[in-house]
C-alpha cells in the first residue's frame, strides 16, 4: 500500500531510516523483527531453461542429440527428452492421435464406398483423401525428405515414396488425364485413381505411430511415478522466515523442516529432532527406520510421527530418485549387441526394397496384363509399403525399453543394454563378501560365560566397559546389550590400549576386554580361553576375551552377519548352474567359514582391489563368462573388468558407476531376478527379429505379384499397409509381454 508521511501514520526508525505504516498492527510486527522486513531479498537460483531447449535423443540411435524436440535424422522416429521428468509430455503422441482420428473420419467413407463397390466421383475422392494425405501424412513426407537429404534411408522413405506416388498419379490422372499414357487405362478406357489406397495407407501408418508412441510412453510411466514420489514443495527455513517453496528452488545447504506424515523433499542429513521414516520405496524394508540427529534421509521417503529439521545435501538431478531414473533411462537408450545385426540389415534393406519396387514396375510394365502400367504402378507401391522396416527397427529397442522398465519395478536397475544381453550367458559369479553376502556391519553372534558367570552378565559387563571405546566391535557389543535391555554398570578409570583392548574398574572390580595378547600381558591364564574360542574362530568370528580381577570371565564372538536372503539367493543361483567364487580382502579363515556355511564353490581371500580385478580376468581367460557382484570402492576395478558388473544399491556410488546392473535393495536375490529378466528379454528380441524378418521375406514377393501367375491374386497397397501396420503392432505387443514376465 502507498502511505503518505504527511498524514502522520505510525512510524519506526531502524538503522537511521524512518519507515511508515498503514496500521499500528503492521508497526508492531516490524518492531519485533525489523531485519526480516528490510533485509535484501534472498537470491534465487537461475530459472530452469525452457523445456523446448532441453536435450533430446533418439530411442533407436542414442548418439543423436539435439536441443528441443523433433525427429531423428537417421530413422525418423520422434525424439524424446534425455532427462525424464515427472511432468507428462505427450505432445507428439497427442498430435499423432489427433491426426489419426481426423484422418479416420475422412477415410472411412472412402473405404465404405470401395467395399460397397460404389465408384464415387473423382472430385469426391480428392476432397476426402487430400486432407488425409497432405495434412495427416505431412510428418511422414517431412521425415522421408529428411532421410533422402541425410542419405539415411528408413521406413519413412518407403512410406513417402509409396503414398506420394499413389496420390500424385491420381491427382495427375484427375486434373490432366490427357498426359497419361493409354497403357494406364482399363478396357473401358478409364484411368484408375488411387486416392483410396493413399488415404488408407496414411491412416494405418498413423495408427502404427499412435500405438508406438503410446507403448514408449508406457515404458517411462514407472519412472515418472517414481519421480512423483518426491513432493512438489519443501518448507525452507531462513533467518526470521519459514515458507513453502517449489522444490526446484532448494539449494544444497538449505535448512528444511519436515513435518509428521510429510515426504522428505530431498536427500540430506537430520540436524534437529528425531523420527522414524518409511524407506520401503528405496530399501524394500517394510519397517520404519529410526532417524536421530546426523542420520541421512532420502528424498521421496515418508516421514512418520516425528518432525525434524534437515540440511539439504543432494538436490535436483543429484538426488537418489533422480539418479535411479537417469540410470534406467540411459539403459533404455543403450544398444544391445544384437541390435547391431538389425542395424546392418536395415542399412541394406531399404535400398534393396526400392530396387525391388523398380524391378517390379519394370517386369509388370513389360510382361504384365493390360493395363500394364497400371498394374506395374500398383504392385510397385505395394512393395514399397509392405516392406516398410518399422517392425525391424522396433524389434530390439522396444524389448530393451520394456525390459529395463520391468527391471526397475523389480528393484533391478539396468544401466547398459549390453549388460542385459550378456547376463543371460554368464556361467560364473565372482562375489564380494562384506555388504554383498553379509550386512556389512559387525554384530554379536555368540556369548559364553566362564566360571559360572551367566551369558547376559558377561554381555552387560562388557558393554559397560566398552561404552567408552570407538572400536566397531565395541559398538556391536553395546548395541547388543541395549537390544536385550541390560542394565549398565558403574565404570571408572577407563583406558584404551590401541590394537589390544580396554581396561577399567567396573563396580569396583578390575576388568579387561581385548585380544589374547592383551590378557597375557596382564598375566591372565588364557590357555582354556583359546581352546573354547577355537570353534568361534573357525566360524569366522572375531573374539573379545574378558577377564575380571585377572580371572577369565567370558568371551564374545562378533561377526558380520550373513544377510537373511543370501542363503536362498545362493541356492537359486546354483539351480541356474552358476558357479560362485568368493573374492574378499578378509582373512582366509573367515572367508572359508562363510563359504562352508553358504555352499560357495571356491574362495580367494586376503586380496587387494587390483587382485580382485586380476582374479576376474583369470576366470575369463579360463573361458568363463563372469559376472562380478560387489558394493564397495574396492570392488570397482573388478566390477569394471567383469563381463557384467553388478552393484548393490546399498553400496558406494563408485561401485554403481562401475557396474552395468544395480540391485536397488542390496538383496542378492535381485541377481536371480536380473538373470531371469535377461533371458526373457533376449528371447523376446529374437522373437521380434524373427517376426520382422519373416514378414518381409514373405511379404515383398507377394506384394510384387508372385502369386498372380498361379492364383491370379494381387496384393492391394491397402492390404499391404494393413499388413505392415500389423507387423509393427505384433512387435510392440510381444515386447509389452515383458511387463508381466514373472521375476
Alpha-carbon distance 511 to 259, whole Å?
46
Query: Of 160, 134, 135, 200, whose CA–CA distance to 76 is shortest?
Result: 160
Q: Classify burial at 743, counting beta carbons within 10 Å of its beta carbon; exposed 0-12, middle 13-18, buried 19 or more.
A: middle
For residues 412 and 661, is the Cβ–Cβ distance under 8 A? yes
For residues 248 and 316, is the Cβ–Cβ distance under 8 A? yes
β-strand partners of 496:
502
**Residue found by looking up cell 535436483 in the block:** 316
What's 372-426 look like in SS3? HHHHHHHHHHHHHHHCCCHHHHHHHHHHHHHHHHHHHHCCEEECCHHHHHHHCCC
DSSP labels for 340-361? HHHHHHHHHHHHHHHHHHHHHH
Alpha-carbon distance 547 to 235, whole Å?
54
- In the DSSP assignment, the letter for residue 464 is H
For residues 252 and 314, is the Cβ–Cβ distance under 8 A? yes
**Residue found by looking up cell 522396444 in the block:** 398
For residue 664, whether the previous peptide bond is cis, meaning omega lies within 30 degrees of 0, is: no
Alpha-carbon distance 714 to 712, whole Å?
7
**Residue found by looking up cell 533418439 in the block:** 58
Query: Of 392, 374, 391, whose CA–CA distance to 382 is shortest?
Result: 374
432 is catalytic: yes
Which listed residue (432, 560, 586, 631) is catalytic? 432
Q: Report, as residue numbers or ranges, the catalytic residues.
A: 432
Amino acid at each position: 500500500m502507498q502511505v503518505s508521511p504527511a498524514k502522520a501514520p505510525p512510524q519506526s526508525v531502524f538503522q537511521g531510516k524512518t519507515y511508515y505504516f498503514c496500521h499500528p498492527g503492521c508497526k508492531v510486527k516490524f518492531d519485533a523483527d525489523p531485519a526480516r522486513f528490510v533485509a535484501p531479498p534472498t537470491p534465487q537460483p537461475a530459472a530452469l531453461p525452457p523445456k523446448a531447449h532441453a536435450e533430446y535423443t533418439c530411442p533407436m540411435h542414442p548418439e543423436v542429440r539435439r536441443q528441443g524436440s523433433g525427429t531423428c535424422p537417421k530413422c525418423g522416429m520422434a525424439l524424446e527428452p534425455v532427462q525424464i521428468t515427472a511432468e507428462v509430455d505427450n505432445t507428439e503422441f497427442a498430435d499423432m492421435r489427433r491426426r489419426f482420428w481426423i484422418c479416420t473420419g475422412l477415410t472411412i467413407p472412402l473405404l465404405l464406398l470401395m467395399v460397397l463397390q460404389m465408384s464415387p466421383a473423382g472430385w469426391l475422392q480428392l476432397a476426402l483423401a487430400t486432407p488425409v494425405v497432405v495434412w495427416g501424412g505431412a510428418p511422414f513426407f517431412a521425415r522421408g525428405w529428411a532421410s533422402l537429404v541425410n542419405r539415411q534411408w528408413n521406413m519413412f522413405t518407403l512410406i513417402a515414396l509409396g503414398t506420394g506416388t499413389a496420390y500424385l498419379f491420381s491427382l495427375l490422372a484427375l486434373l490432366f488425364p490427357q498426359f497419361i499414357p493409354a497403357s494406364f487405362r482399363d478396357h473401358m478406357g478409364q484411368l484408375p485413381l488411387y486416392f483410396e489406397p493413399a488415404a488408407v495407407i496414411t491412416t494405418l501408418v498413423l495408427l502404427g505411430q499412435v500405438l508406438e508412441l503410446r507403448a514408449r510412453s508406457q515404458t517411462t510411466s514407472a519412472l515418472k511415478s517414481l519421480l512423483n514420489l518426491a513432493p512438489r514443495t519443501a518448507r525452507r527455513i531462513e533467518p526470521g522466515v519459514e515458507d513453502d517453496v517449489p522444490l526446484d528452488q532448494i539449494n544444497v545447504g538449505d535448512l528444511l523442516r519436515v513435518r509428521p506424515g510429510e515426504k522428505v523433499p530431498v536427500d540430506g542429513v537430520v540436524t534437529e529432532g528425531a523420527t522414524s521414516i518409511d524407506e520401503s520405496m528405496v530399501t524394500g524394508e517394510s519397517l520404519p527406520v529410526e532417524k536421530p540427529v546426523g542420520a541421512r534421509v532420502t528424498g521421496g521417503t515418508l516421514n512418520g510421527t516425528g518432525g525434524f529439521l534437515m540440511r539439504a545435501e543432494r538436490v535436483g538431478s543429484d538426488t537418489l530418485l533422480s539418479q535411479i531414473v537417469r540410470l534406467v533411462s540411459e539403459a533404455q537408450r543403450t544398444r544391445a549387441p544384437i541390435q547391431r545385426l538389425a542395424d546392418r540389415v536395415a542399412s541394406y534393406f531399404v535400398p534393396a526394397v526400392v530396387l525391388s519396387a523398380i524391378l517390379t514396375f519394370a517386369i509388370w510394365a513389360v510382361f504384365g496384363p493390360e493395363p500394364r502400367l497400371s498394374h506395374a504402378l500398383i504392385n510397385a507401391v505395394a512393395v514399397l509399403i509392405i516392406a516398410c522396416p518399422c517392425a525391424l527397427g522396433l524389434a530390439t529397442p522396444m524389448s530393451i525399453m520394456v525390459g529395463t522398465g520391468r527391471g526397475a519395478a523389480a528393484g533391478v536397475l539396468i544401466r547398459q543394454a549390453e549388460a542385459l544381453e550378456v547376463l543371460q550367458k554368464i556361467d560364473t559369479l565372482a562375489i564380494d563378501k562384506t555388504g554383498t553376502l553379509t550386512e556389512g556391519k559387525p554384530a554379536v553372534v555368540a556369548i559364553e560365560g566362564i566360571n559360572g558367570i551367566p551369558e547376559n552378565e558377561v554381555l552387560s559387563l562388557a558393554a559397560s566397559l566398552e561404552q567408552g571405546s570407538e572400536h566397531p566391535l565395541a559398538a556391536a557389543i553395546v548395541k547388543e546389550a541395549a537390544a536385550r535391555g541390560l542394565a549398565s554398570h558403574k565404570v571408572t578409570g577407563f583406558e584404551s590400549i590401541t590394537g589390544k583392548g580396554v581396561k577399567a574398574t567396573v563396580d569396583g572390580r578390575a576388568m579387561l576386554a581385548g585380544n589374547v595378547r592383551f590378557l597375557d600381558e596382564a598375566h591372565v591364564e588364557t590357555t582354556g580361553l583359546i581352546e573354547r574360542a577355537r570353534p568361534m574362530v573357525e566360524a569366522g568370528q572375531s573374539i573379545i576375551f574378558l577377564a575380571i580381577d585377572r580371572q577369565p570371565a567370558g568371551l564374545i564372538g562378533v561377526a558380520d552377519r550373513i544377510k537373511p536372503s543370501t542363503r536362498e539367493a545362493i541356492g537359486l543361483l546354483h539351480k541356474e548352474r552358476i558357479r560362485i567364487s568368493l573374492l574378499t580382502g578378509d582373512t582366509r579363515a573367515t572367508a572359508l567359514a562363510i563359504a562352508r556355511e553358504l555352499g560357495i564353490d571356491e574362495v580367494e581371500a586376503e586380496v587387494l582391489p587390483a587382485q580382485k580385478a586380476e582374479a576376474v580376468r583369470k576366470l575369463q581367460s579360463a573361458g568363463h563368462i563372469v559376472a562380478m557382484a560387489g558394493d564397495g570402492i574396492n570392488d570397482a576395478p573388478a566390477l569394471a573388468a567383469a563381463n557384467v558388473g553388478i552393484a548393490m544399491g546399498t553400496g558406494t556410488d563408485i561401485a554403481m558407476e562401475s557396474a552395468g546392473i544395480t540391485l536397488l535393495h542390496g538383496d542378492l536375490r535381485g541377481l536371480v531376478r536380473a538373470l531371469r529378466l535377461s533371458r526373457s528379454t533376449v528371447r523376446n528380441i529374437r522373437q521380434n527379429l524373427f517376426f520382422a524378418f519373416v514378414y518381409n521375406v514373405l511379404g515383398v514377393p507377394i506384394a510384387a505379384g508372385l502369386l498372380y501367375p498361379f492364383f491370379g491374386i494381387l496384393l492391394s497397397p491397402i492390404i499391404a499397409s494393413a499388413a505392415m501396420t500389423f507387423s509393427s503392432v505384433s512387435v510392440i505387443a510381444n515386447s509389452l509381454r515383458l511387463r508381466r514376465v514373472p521375476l
